[in-house]
Amino acid sequence: MNNFIYAADLFGTVVFAISGALAAGRLRMDPFGVLVLAGVTAVGGGTVRDAILGATPVFWITNTIYVWLIALTAALVILLVRCPRRLSGRWFQVADAFGLAVFTVIGAQKALSFGTSPLIAIMMGTMTGVMGGMIRDVLCREVPLVLRTEIYATACIAGGVLYVSALALGLAPVFAAVLGMLGTLVLRLVGIFTGLSLPAFALDKPEKH
Amino acid sequence: MNNFIYAADLFGTVVFAISGALAAGRLRMDPFGVLVLAGVTAVGGGTVRDAILGATPVFWITNTIYVWLIALTAALVILLVRCPRRLSGRWFQVADAFGLAVFTVIGAQKALSFGTSPLIAIMMGTMTGVMGGMIRDVLCREVPLVLRTEIYATACIAGGVLYVSALALGLAPVFAAVLGMLGTLVLRLVGIFTGLSLPAFALDKPEKH
Amino acid sequence: MNNFIYAADLFGTVVFAISGALAAGRLRMDPFGVLVLAGVTAVGGGTVRDAILGATPVFWITNTIYVWLIALTAALVILLVRCPRRLSGRWFQVADAFGLAVFTVIGAQKALSFGTSPLIAIMMGTMTGVMGGMIRDVLCREVPLVLRTEIYATACIAGGVLYVSALALGLAPVFAAVLGMLGTLVLRLVGIFTGLSLPAFALDKPEKH
């Protein structure tokens, strides 16, 4: 089972790296830019989480497979992708939802293993899931998409709540993890396939700041 | 007295969180966006300070009251605020100045407790005061306001200098803290009520970078 | 020799600080903004490196000469610079290339001293060289230049590869360091004087994100 989570983690890393590499391509970056955007999208969230927890050196320094995977993904995207639309389609969004679910539970798990409260674990799970994409968007000079769109971070929060609740109720860690992932995944798929989103909090811009 | 500083710290956290939530509202973000902007504005400066000092896990992980306060503030802003102009007015700026003063002294204090030099303590105090707002502005795709406007960071630096000087002169820590806070507060209020600002350093943009 | 590397490090710090201060001037920031941009450009890369490695408190907290140098540089730029074009010219770019070369090798060296693999050391060297400029650009609301232009990060990567390869081949650390610096410097100079750059990875923007 832990092997399954590890494999899912690597799969999520590749999917997130592809999403970063495509963003770089849209801004006509050079190969280094593609590598950087692939990297921050894939491991940015976990890196900030580890720095905040004090889990240093951060995870990809001790296990360099993440770095190799990102470099390989960036190279393949540059060489093979000509028509990004296929990769922005539904199937890619479903893969991204799967990555999001895994990252969320892994992030919450790591926080708990550092002795944090369940509240902080939910936050850290969400941060692991969404912060890489936020950094990618800031580097691309965009307001992070996750701050204004459909059910995305909400799915992480809900999955995190499910996960820590299941643990608190005494479920085996493996079942709690699967439950948390399913919660995030299902809710995110609802967002993707229905286009549902949370109502925006909209204020008028003041005339003078 | 330490109770006073702690209460002031929580008050400052709420004020900064409101300022972040309002920025999110101006960009029509969803509730998660409001939460994130409220959070980075309120605890972003202290988080970066702690990561740089190596004071990990950072402060809001061990004391989760900050997280609850931010979540509550974000929820109340979404539910209650319809007319942001009242919250951008003078009274709010005065409350913000008070938060700035507390954050500055607390940040300098924490740095000194980690054995840094007075110079670094002044920097860390200023960082605690202003960096949350800088991250908020970057997420909103704006050049951080604090880098170009009135007496804001300057007030932190002056308050920090007062604080570490008072300590060096042998004053009781409590009096030094009050002096540092008053210094920041008064100077910031001067900025608010007179509109005074430092002269800008303006270069022509080169035709070609 | 270690004295030479230390002197080169301080020289690089000044050059990078000037580049940050000039960026602040182009956006008409106040003196605090100039200080912040000079600082993040000069020590931002090393700060992120140290936070990721867990080398806290970060380097400029224990050795404050970097902070004094940055403050002095920012003050001198404000007082003396009227015509930034002279400082954006070829000579300044050569000085910047020199700083880049030193920062790269120092960053890789520090990573290795924390027991990382050569791959991570190359990454950390590159990060030390380029991330300060990336943060500067983000604060100026620009897509980081290094992600799309000429041979810049590429020079860091090549220099890092040379450095760790030379160490692996058993060369004395001093010679490996000089070799790594020369590699970065020469490749960067080629970029400056020929205008060569890597081919961009360009995708069409999707009609709908």
B76, with CB counted inside 10 A (0-12, 13-18, 19+), is: middle
What does the block give as tokens for A70? 């990102």
Query: A121 in a domain, yes or no?
Result: yes
- Structure confidence at residue A87 as a pLDDT band (50, 70, 90): low
pLDDT mean over A164-173: 94
Query: A209 in a domain, yes or no?
Result: no
Cβ-defined contact of A27 to C148 (cutoff 8 Å): yes
- Whether B207 shows a pLDDT value over 60: the answer reads no
Predicted pLDDT at B209? 44
pLDDT mean over C190-199: 82
Predicted pLDDT at B165? 96
- C-alpha dihedral, B110 to B116 to B120 to B122, nearest 10°: 40
> Interhelix angle for C31-53 vs C90-113, to 10°?
30
Predicted pLDDT at A18? 92
Higher pLDDT, B81 or B13: B13
pLDDT mean over A85-110: 86
- Whether A209 shows a pLDDT value over 80: the answer reads no
Query: C178 in a domain, yes or no?
Result: yes
- Structure confidence at residue C208 as a pLDDT band (50, 70, 90): very low
pLDDT mean over B59-77: 94
- Please state, in angstroms and rounded to a whole number, the distance separating the CA atoms of residues B83 and A106: 41
Predicted pLDDT at C198? 75
- Whether C205 shows a pLDDT value over 70: the answer reads no
> Interhelix angle for A31-53 vs A65-80, to 10°?
150
pLDDT mean over B19-30: 88
Query: A29 in a domain, yes or no?
Result: yes
Interface predicted TM-score (ipTM): 0.86
Residue B67: beta bridge partners? none
A22-42 residue pLDDT tens? 988 888 888 888 999 999 999
Of A51, A198, A209, the CB nearest to B31: A198
A200, with CB counted inside 10 A (0-12, 13-18, 19+), is: middle
Query: B44 in a domain, yes or no?
Result: yes
Q: C25 to chain B: which residues are within 8 Å by CB?
A: 201-203
- Structure confidence at residue B87 as a pLDDT band (50, 70, 90): low
Task: Give the nearest chain C residue to B140 (CA atoms).
Answer: C141
pLDDT mean over B30-44: 92
Of B24, B61, B139, the CB nearest to A52: B61
As a whole number of Å, the CA-based R_g of chain A is: 17
C74-84 residue pLDDT tens? 999 998 877 66
Predicted pLDDT at B27? 87
Q: Which amino acid is at B101?
A: A
Predicted pLDDT at A199? 77
Predicted pLDDT at A186? 95
pLDDT mean over C7-24: 91
- Structure confidence at residue A54 as a pLDDT band (50, 70, 90): very high
Query: C207 in a domain, yes or no?
Result: no
Of B32, B36, B77, the CB nearest to A154: B32
Predicted pLDDT at B208? 44
Predicted pLDDT at A208? 44
- Whether C147 shows a pLDDT value over 70: the answer reads yes
Predicted pLDDT at C207? 46
pLDDT mean over A113-139: 93
Predicted pLDDT at C206? 52
Residue B21 contacts residue B34 (beta carbons within 8 Å): yes
Identify from B18, B22, B29 which residue to disrupt to test chain A contact, counting A C-beta atoms within 10 A and taking the largest count.
B29
How many domains does chain B divide into?
A: 1
- Structure confidence at residue B152 as a pLDDT band (50, 70, 90): confident
- Please state, in angstroms and rounded to a whole number, the distance separating the CA atoms of residues B116 and B110: 9
* Neighbour subunits, A (≥3 Cβ pairs < 8 A): B, C
Q: How far is CA C14 from the centre of its chain?
A: 11
First to last CA, chain C: 53
- Cβ–Cβ contact B203 with C under 8 A: yes
Cis-peptide into A57, omega within 30 deg: yes
Cβ-defined contact of B146 to C56 (cutoff 8 Å): no
pLDDT mean over C118-139: 93
Q: B124-133, C171-180, C195-204: lowest mean pLDDT where?
A: C195-204
- Structure confidence at residue B45 as a pLDDT band (50, 70, 90): very high
Cβ-defined contact of B143 to C27 (cutoff 8 Å): yes
Query: C185 in a domain, yes or no?
Result: yes
Residue-averaged pLDDT of chain A: 88
Cβ-defined contact of A53 to B56 (cutoff 8 Å): yes
* Closest listed residue to residue C127, CA positions, set C156, C149, C155: C156
Identify from C110, C119, C140, C147 which residue to disrupt to test chain A contact, counting A C-beta atoms within 10 A and taking the largest count.
C147
Predicted pLDDT at C209? 43
Q: Which amino acid is at C27?
A: L
Query: B202 in a domain, yes or no?
Result: no
Exposure class string for B149-185: b at 16+ Cβ within 10 A, else e: bbbbbbbbbbbbbbbbbbbeeeeeeeebbbbbbebbb
- Structure confidence at residue C14 as a pLDDT band (50, 70, 90): very high
pLDDT mean over C12-29: 90
Q: A10-24, B13-27, C135-149: lowest mean pLDDT where?
A: C135-149
Domain span at residue C115? Answer: 2-194
A 78-117: CB under 8 A from C = 78, 81, 84-85, 88
Predicted pLDDT at C85? 63
Alpha helices in A140-199 (DSSP H): 153-168, 173-194
- Cβ–Cβ contact A72 with B under 8 A: no
Of C54, C78, C139, the CB nearest to B201: C78
Residue A166 distance to chain C (closest CA, Å)? 32
Q: B57 to chain A: which residues are within 8 Å by CB?
A: 52-54, 114, 116
| Side-chain half-sphere exposure of C42, counting CA atoms within 13 A | 32
B172-186 residue pLDDT tens? 999 999 999 999 999
- Please state, in angstroms and rounded to a whole number, the distance separating the CA atoms of residues A45 and A133: 8
Predicted pLDDT at C83? 66
